[in-house]
């Protein structure tokens, strides 16, 4: 059974009201046409459709004094944005936007602006047409091409620079989803010819998607700069157009990433470096975002994978170019595997949301939910509300009620807590007069169950993977509807309703905690919609499961508590920070305090070993573990990867330097090293360094050195400094190792801030 056979694909509210199949890309063509790229019978065809851009207006008075042409349609309902203004071309739309901005004094992005302009023509077309991409296709039907470049760095410099005449592209590796592979070596091609050949191959292979790791921040900017130097056009578009990019920013959790967003007409660009960042927002598992680190984490690395240290790439080009080419080829193979693993959810989202596949990857979930609501309101020609004013409010209930080592631990959580409460109590946006929000939420829950059943019955692994991606996507969307209520830019947001949902969630979780405590259970950790606890010592395994079943029967209709796991031991440290030993003897560590990238690798490894000793009843061996690590430092047995620190730049080097000059911040090693380096570092870049000198109290910013400069033949790391950090870590955990016990630490998390 193909994915398309599932009944949920017939839902126009979710998958769009124009079910044009096998649509792989949409692009604006000139001023007033849209070009649709479709796969028909194994070949690519194009269709051109008329395109009349639109703006939404609160009043026709806003058009006074405007000399251009606009066809205005009144929308039904009383919401503020009650007029749809259509114009004959994209240039006219931009002129009307400028007129409205000048007349209102508000930019189109301002929540209280009396007009709306969506500055992506593809998004506009998909909103009004009801089309979405990839309907009738499986992920494997897409033509995906992976690209990786290797570059030369002249002697005396730390990092290659595309603007430096002495540097160049030394290899380009290409691979596509048919299994075709090719490497262009700089020993056989001059750089200009290599660039022309890459363009020729890309047009010949004709991919729907270009994939690469760190494409936006390294490979494509480098290729573009070198092509400009040689006056070689990168004509990669399906219409013959050139690769084009513009500066952009992206918020990933607490980090702002600056990058160049590249676009190729008729194709999509997907950066697996960004996919890894997005994955880790929730997982918090990755030690870094480099291709090799991520591939190792997911088990995608081939046993015979060629590895070359980054600072040795130029040496290999000069002395062993064949190995360099094999290394580049392994890079694109890992990129393909990583993209296949992390892209499937976004493939499904492109079938749902009115965005290009590339932009589905880059948009936040609340923004995408907003687009679903907008699409349906525009279809029914209903007036659209303005976003309500943002308000701070309390979120979920969290608590730690026991610290130290706990035994025979059970974990339960409330399935889709907030969506369940919203449906049970009718807590929906009051501005949604058509009732689209609850219908979407209800349908998504039903469709997820249908997809889960279909995955179990799938006759092939390919179909099972596709349907699993579908149901996983639905799960993420379902759990994002509460966040949408508190999304400041959401047209249908409702902070009052968000407060009610959060309050109901806190009350329900407290009810569950109180019931367990009355039955003699020791609750350990509570986190918004789930909790870990120890049953009374007299309760066996079968009795514990019966206890959970009894608890479930006390809950309101529509609320489902799921028994999610049994753990022989748990190390509870503090709120949202703990380690679990599961029944398969696997160690699971959760929480930024225990997995923080601010910790050097030797600290994380020591903690892992320490936790395992504590959880397996061998805590008396911890002092010997501490001494073993001390001695390893004294003997310089650790490679630099064990003690280097990797930090992400949160601001530009110029901004940092000015703040230090004005004494608005303290000096920091990563920034100081960045200022000394040749590389043009940007916010979001990472710098790895270690500490030299003698003694535990050195100023790190004065004794930092780039990790790439560490010489194993002449190690110069500060042994006393690192042993001191190890001993501080041991002292921090010692009270928890000496015994566990009840505590009382409670909090109400902040409400969602949207995206």
CA-based max dimension of the chain? 83
Task: Give Cβ neighbours of residue 741 (< 8 Å, ≥ 6 apart).
Answer: 402, 403, 404
pLDDT of 3 above 50? no
Domain assignment of residue 705, given as a range: 601-737
Between 231 and 448, the higher pLDDT residue? 231
User: What percent of the chain clears pLDDT 90, i.e. is strictly above it?
Assistant: 76
Residue 279 lies in a domain: yes
pTM of structure: 0.89
Q: For 484, how many CA atoms within 13 A lie in the half-sphere containing its CB?
A: 29
Q: Where are the alpha helices (DSSP H) in 169-312?
A: 191-205, 220-230, 272-283, 291-297
Note the pLDDT tens digit of each residue in 643-683.
999 888 888 999 999 999 999 999 999 999 999 886 778 78
What confidence category does residue 752 fall into, taking pLDDT thresholds of 50, 70 and 90?
low
Q: Domain end: 304, 329, 347, which one? A: 347
Cα separation, 264 vs 727, in Å, equals 53
Total structural domains within the chain: 2
641, 755, 678: which is closest to 290 by C-alpha? 641
Least confident of 146-150, 278-282, 490-494, 693-697: 278-282
Domain boundary among 347, 367, 398: 347
pLDDT above 60 (res 730): yes
Q: CB within 8 A of 507, min separation 6: which ones?
A: none
What pLDDT sits at residue 468?
81
Q: What is the CATH number of the domain that holds 201?
A: 3.30.420.10
Provide mean pLDDT across the span 211-240: 96
On whether the CB atoms of residues 343 and 732 are closer than 8 A, the answer is no
Domain assignment present for residue 291? The answer is yes
- Summarize the confidence of residues 50-76 as an average pLDDT: 96
User: Is the Cβ–Cβ distance between 291 and 331 less than 8 Å?
Assistant: yes
Where does a domain end: 296, 320, 347?
A: 347
Q: Is the per-residue pLDDT at 469 higher than 90?
A: no
Which CATH number goes with the domain that contains 665? 1.10.132.60
pLDDT digits (tens, 9 = 90+) for 348-404: 999 999 999 999 999 999 999 999 999 999 999 999 999 999 998 888 899 999 999
Token pair listed for 220? 């494509």
**Residue 593 lies inside a defined structural domain of this protein:** no
pLDDT at 2 over 50: no
Is residue 119 one of the residues assigned to a domain? no
Least confident range of 231-240, 437-446, 463-472, 700-709: 463-472
Rg of the chain taking only CA atoms, in angstroms = 28
In-domain check, residue 250: yes
Structure confidence at residue 256 as a pLDDT band (50, 70, 90): confident
pLDDT tens string 473-528: 888 899 899 999 999 999 999 999 999 999 999 999 999 999 999 999 999 999 88
Residue 636 lies in a domain: yes
**In-domain check, residue 102:** no
Position 167 in a domain: yes
The average confidence (pLDDT) of the chain is 92
């Amino acid at each position: 059974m193909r994915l398309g056979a599932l009944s949920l694909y017939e839902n126009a509210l979710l998958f769009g009201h124009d079910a044009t199949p096998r649509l792989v890309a949409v692009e604006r063509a000139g001023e007033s046409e849209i070009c649709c790229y479709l796969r028909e019978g194994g070949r690519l065809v194009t269709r051109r459709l008329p395109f009349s851009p639109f703006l939404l207006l609160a009043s026709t008075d806003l058009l006074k004094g405007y000399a251009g042409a606009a066809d205005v349609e009144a929308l039904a309902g009383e919401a503020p944005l009650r007029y749809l203004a259509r114009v004959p071309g994209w240039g006219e739309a931009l002129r009307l936007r400028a007129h409205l901005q000048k007349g209102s004094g508000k930019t189109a992005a301002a929540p209280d602006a009396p007009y709306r302009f969506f500055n992506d023509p593809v998004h506009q077309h998909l909103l009004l047409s009801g089309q979405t991409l990839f309907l009738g296709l499986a992920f494997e039907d897409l033509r995906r091409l992976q690209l990786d470049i290797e570059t030369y760095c002249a002697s005396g410099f730390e990092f290659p620079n595309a603007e430096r005449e002495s540097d160049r592209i030394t290899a380009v590796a290409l691979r596509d989803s048919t299994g075709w592979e090719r490497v262009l070596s700089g020993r056989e091609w001059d750089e200009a010819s290599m660039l022309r050949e890459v363009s020729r191959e890309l047009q010949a292979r004709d991919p729907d998607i270009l994939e690469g790791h760190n494409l936006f921040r390294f490979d494509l900017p480098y290729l573009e700069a070198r092509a400009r130097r040689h006056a070689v056009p990168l004509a990669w578009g399906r219409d013959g157009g050139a690769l084009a990019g513009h500066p952009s920013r992206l918020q990933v959790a607490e980090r702002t990433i600056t990058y160049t967003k590249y676009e190729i007409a008729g194709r999509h660009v997907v950066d697996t470096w960004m996919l890894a960042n997005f994955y880790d927002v929730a997982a918090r598992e990755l030690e870094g975002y480099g291709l090799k680190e991520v591939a190792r984490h997911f088990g995608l690395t081939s046993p015979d994978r060629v590895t070359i240290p980054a600072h040795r790439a130029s040496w290999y080009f000069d002395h062993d170019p064949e190995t360099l080419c094999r290394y580049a080829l392994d890079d694109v193979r890992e990129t393909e595997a990583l993209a296949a693993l992390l892209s499937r959810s976004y493939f499904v989202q492109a079938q749902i949301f009115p965005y290009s596949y590339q932009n589905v990857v880059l948009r936040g979930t609340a923004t995408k939910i907003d687009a679903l609501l907008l699409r349906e309101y525009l279809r029914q020609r209903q007036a659209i509300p303005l976003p309500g004013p943002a308000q701070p409010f309390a979120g979920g209930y969290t608590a730690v009620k026991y610290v130290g080592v706990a035994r025979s631990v059970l974990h339960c959580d409330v399935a889709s807590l907030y969506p369940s409460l919203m449906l049970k109590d009718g807590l929906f946006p009051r501005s949604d007069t058509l009732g689209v929000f609850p219908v979407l939420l209800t349908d998504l829950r039903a469709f997820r169950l249908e997809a889960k059943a279909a995955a179990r019955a799938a006759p092939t692994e390919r179909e099972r993977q596709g349907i699993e991606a579908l149901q996983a996507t639905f799960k993420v969307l379902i759990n994002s509807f509460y966040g949408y209520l508190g999304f400041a830019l959401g047209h249908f947001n409702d902070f009052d309703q968000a407060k009610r949902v959060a309050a109901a969630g806190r009350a329900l979780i407290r009810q569950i905690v109180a019931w367990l405590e009355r039955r003699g259970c020791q609750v350990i950790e509570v986190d918004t919609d789930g909790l870990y606890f120890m049953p009374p010592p007299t309760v066996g395994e079968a009795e514990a499961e019966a206890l959970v079943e009894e608890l479930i029967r006390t809950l309101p209709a529509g609320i489902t508590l799921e028994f999610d796991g049994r753990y022989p031991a748990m190390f509870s440290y503090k709120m949202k920070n703990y380690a679990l030993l599961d029944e398969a003897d696997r160690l699971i560590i959760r929480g930024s305090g225990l997995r923080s990238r601010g910790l050097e690798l030797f600290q994380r490894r020591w903690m892992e070993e320490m936790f395992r000793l504590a959880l397996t009843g061998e805590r008396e061996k911890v002092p010997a573990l501490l001494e073993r690590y001390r001695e390893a430092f004294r003997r310089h047995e650790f490679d630099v990867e064990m003690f280097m620190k990797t930090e992400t730049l949160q601001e530009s080097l110029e901004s940092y330097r000015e703040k230090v000059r004005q004494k608005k911040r303290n000096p920091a090693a990563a920034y100081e090293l960045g200022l000394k380096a040749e590389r043009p570092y940007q916010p979001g870049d990472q710098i790895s360094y270690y500490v030299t000198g003698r003694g535990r109290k050195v100023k790190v910013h004065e004794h930092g050195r780039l990790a790439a400069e560490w010489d194993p033949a002449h190690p110069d790391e500060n042994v006393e400094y690192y042993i001191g950090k190890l001993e501080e870590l041991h002292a921090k955990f010692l009270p928890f190792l000496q015994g566990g016990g009840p505590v009382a630490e409670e909090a109400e998390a902040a409400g969602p801030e949207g995206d």
